[in-house]
Amino acid sequence: MNARKPADLIRDEAEFVAAGIELQQQGLELLLAEMRALATLIPGKDKHQPTDAEIEAGFDNMPV
């Protein structure tokens, strides 16, 4: 009988963890798409979404 090495067991576990993370990422991407789609249906919602640069510019002007 061929005994498995600890590195083989760790590698197998790492593959399971990587697969789980990939599935979570796919689920979060789907959730984000659904949230964006629902946001377009909300009445009175401002259609202009600030860019990351605009948001950062607002914080950069704060006094120290």
pLDDT in tens, 11-40: 889 999 999 999 999 999 999 999 999 888
**What is the number of domains present in the chain?**
1
Query: Who wins on pLDDT, 31 or 64?
Result: 31
Residue 27's domain comprises 13-59
Q: Is residue 64 in some structural domain?
A: no
Q: Is residue 19 in some structural domain?
A: yes
For residue 58, how far is the Cα from the chain centroid?
Answer: 24
Which of the 8 DSSP states describes residue 17? H
pTM, two decimal places: 0.51
Distance, in Å, from the CA atom of 32 to the CA atom of 20, rounded to the nearest integer, reads 18
Question: Could you give the angle at the alpha carbon of 49 between the alpha carbons of 47 and 59, nearest 5°?
Answer: 145
Q: Is residue 4 in some structural domain?
A: no
Q: Is residue 2 in some structural domain?
A: no
